[in-house]
Amino acid sequence: MSQQSAIPNFSAFVFQCLRISASALCIYEYSITIYEERAYIWKAKLSFPAALFYIIRYSAILDAIWCILELVNWPGKSDLIGNFSCKILLRSELGLKLGLLRRPALVAVRVYAITQRTVWPVLPTLALYMVNPVVLLYLGIISQPIIRHGTCNTIGSTDRDTYVICGCRMLDPSCPLMSVVLLTKGTNIAGATTIASNGLALFITWLVTASIVTMRQLSTSKETLSIVLMNHGGIHFTLLSIAAVIGMAAGRNTEVVFSDNIMTDT
């Protein structure tokens, strides 16, 4: 068996690992502030801002979980893969990705809090964070779900494995605004702006660390929300930067491999 025959399986495996890692980091990013969220949000009186917070925050968590479920070969999943289910999966993910629009607002509020309500650091951070969700949503709208089947040899085996790929293609590839080049460049630009915005937010967080830590050491009062955001800010933006780098690497493959070992041909 040639090494080239094993490339499709290996590429699909690496792609799955990258996507799952990025989604897992996103879920962990939410878990690091769960205690403070319970103290400041869950125990507070229900209001419209709180309800809006729940909707946009947990839709993003569901999106990350959905990405993991897409790439894990759970029992009976291969029986559900078809043209219709492919559209449902990708369009559902696009709908959940509307939750990406909540991140610029939440990050802007975080930066606004840790800088003691200073407006000027918020504006460039908000502008950079808006690029990623807008680009991804645009690419999702102009793309069309497709499903393809293929076979390849498994490493160390002479059998041929059948796999299913559910991916995207542009609605009109001849249109300059709907080309594969645009899809690749758009994904890379979105990832690059995410890294830049996370870096800016991380720099701002680091910049105010000394003063806030000093204030906390001199004061014996109860922790404020600003101090809580400060404590987790470094971890928060570092994880987002790592997830963005992984997302750029995974974005080089525009197809989602649902199962690289659905059934074996004898």
Give 22-42 pLDDT, tens digit per residue: 667 667 767 776 776 777 777
The string over 126-160, giving b where at least 16 C-beta atoms fall within 10 Å of a residue's C-beta and e elsewhere, is bebbbbbbebbbebbebbebebeeeebbbeeeeee
Q: Is the model's pLDDT at 79 over the cut of 60?
A: no
Q: Once rounded to an integer, what is the mean pLDDT over residues 54-83?
A: 62
pLDDT by residue (tens digit) across 105-118?
A: 777 777 777 777 77
Q: Please give the residue that has the higher pLDDT: either 130 or 65.
A: 130
Would you place residue 254 in the very low, low, confident or very high pLDDT band (cuts 50, 70, 90)?
very low
Closest CA to 100 of 139, 144, 130: 130
Angle between helices 102-114 and 122-142 (to 10 degrees): 170
- The residues, ordered by sequence, that sit 6+ positions from 144 with a Cβ below 8 Å of its Cβ are 168, 169, 170, 171
Q: Note the pTM of the prediction, 2 decimals.
A: 0.51
% residues pLDDT > 90 (the chain): 0
Q: Once rounded to an integer, what is the mean pLDDT over residues 146-152?
A: 54
Q: Is the model's pLDDT at 127 over the cut of 80?
A: yes
Q: Is the model's pLDDT at 88 over the cut of 70?
A: no
pLDDT by residue (tens digit) across 43-57?
A: 777 777 677 677 767
